[in-house]
Structure 1
Amino acid sequence: MPKRLAVIGAAVLFAVAGCSDSGDESATLVTPAPSTAEDLAEQPAASAGGACILWDYDFIEQAIGIRFAVSAADQVEDTSTCVVQTLSGAWPDLSLSVVETTTANAEVFLDTRMPAKATKLTGLGRAGYRLNAKAAADHGPTVEIGWLSEAKQLQTVRFTFAKGASAADVKDMNAKLLDLAKALSTTNG
């Protein structure tokens, strides 16, 4: 299985790099045969690095009831991020962002980090908020929960629905995402 993915990757790389005779002005793009979900070996979410090391697909599925299979991460200065998606499309997706440390207290967090239309949450870290946003042209509504953890980290989880999510779906995800945030929230100890 890994050899097949390596061959596909190499073929795409050579095609994109424009490997052709120097006299040939028209490079041919080689498109590998489509793969099915069964052809792909699921790599652990944590293998992407970044904030992905804080969760795995089973943990997420138990918390919110959706199975993800693809993860990507990034790190910029002291902020780590992770996004997980299904194999079936760009949405739904779930993202996590963690700022390693902050000097902000709860008051500063709520004054400067809480979006204008967000509602204040209690029982999550030192301070927290929830923001529900309406559907956009290419995806459904979003639910975002941000908080200042007891360990003075800024953490944010955001779930983006595929098109067609109902108000009941959003209400249900509010509770599930809060439970996920509580499970992820860091403490002093």
Structure 2
Amino acid sequence: MRGRIVGAGVAALLAAGCGAEAEPVAVPPPAPVAADVAAASSGGACRLLDFDVIEQHAGFRFDVAAASETGDSHTCVVRAGRAALPELTLTVTETSIDVATFTADVVPEKAAKVSGLGQRAYQRTTSAKGALGPVEEVGWLAAGGRLATLRYATPPDADKAAAESLTTTLIALAKQLDTATLHP
């Protein structure tokens, strides 16, 4: 008798559990994991940049880097998150020009001379144009046959004085970059 009662109880439990399917449990998707990736991991000219060094010398923080290489030119663009501007662009191109050719053919009109950077260097600030605000640019003829340019593009609502105030910080950052270590 006991066996029949236990058997009936087990059968009742099994029937109750199998008769209705359980509702699926909604599990929220896992939160995206933010990873702090070094600019150098993008390759190209980004190997010369470090987000902490940029912040230390220039006073602004970027956390996204993208590199491009075309022929003898290596470029790195860094931005903050998904924002298109501001952006900092470093371009390094292998070259055989000398200081005289750099001065005559590369240095833009109305550019100011920069001392203590490469063999010869300049800085200039351009006015806002199109979707870009003013752009601060530092260019130099580096040792080892390298032509380098560091540009900071501001948002369209920035004024020219804001871009010009970056001159000293961009020059300090440029002096930290060892373009000779960039290999094709």
1:47 and 2:41 equivalent? yes
1:75 pairs with one of 69, 73, 97: 69
Does the Cα contact within 8 Å between 2:123 and 2:139 map onto a contact in 1?
A: yes
CA shift at 1:185, angstroms? 4.6
Q: Deviations over 1:44-96 (max 9, x none)?
A: 11111100001111111111111101111011111110000011510000000
1:121 and 2:117 equivalent? no
Does the Cα contact within 8 Å between 1:70 and 1:84 map onto a contact in 2?
A: yes
Please list, as runs of the form range in 1=range in 2, the aligned pairs for 1:103-142 lying within 5 A after superposition. 103-142=96-135
**Greater relative contact order (CA < 8 Å, ≥ 6 in sequence):** 2
Partner Cα separation in structure 2 for residue 54 and residue 128 of structure 1? 18
Tell me which stretches of 4 or more aligned residues in structure 1 moved more than 6 Å.
Answer: none
Does the Cα contact within 8 Å between 2:125 and 2:160 map onto a contact in 1?
A: no
CA shift at 1:119, angstroms? 2.2
Partner Cα separation in structure 1 for residue 124 and residue 84 of structure 2? 21
Please, what TM-score do these two structures have when normalized by structure 1? 0.73
2:55 pairs with one of 51, 61, 75: 61
CA shift at 1:167, angstroms? 4.3
Percent identity, please. 39
Does the Cα contact within 8 Å between 1:125 and 1:150 map onto a contact in 2?
A: yes
Partner Cα separation in structure 1 for residue 41 and residue 47 of structure 2? 7
Distance change >3 Å, CA 149–CA 66, structure 1 → 2: same
RMSD between superposed Cα atoms in Å: 2.1
1:178 and 2:167 equivalent? no
Structure 1's unaligned 5+ residue stretches are: 1-35
Partner Cα separation in structure 1 for residue 178 and residue 127 of structure 2? 26
Distance change >3 Å, CA 185–CA 127, structure 1 → 2: farther
The structure that has the greater radius of gyration is 2
Partner Cα separation in structure 2 for residue 137 and residue 77 of structure 1? 28
Q: Deviations over 1:147-189 (max 9, x none)?
A: 001222101100011233244422320110011111115469x
Partner Cα separation in structure 2 for residue 88 and residue 175 of structure 1? 27
Structure 2's unaligned 5+ residue stretches are: 1-30
Does the Cα contact within 8 Å between 2:112 and 2:124 map onto a contact in 1?
A: yes
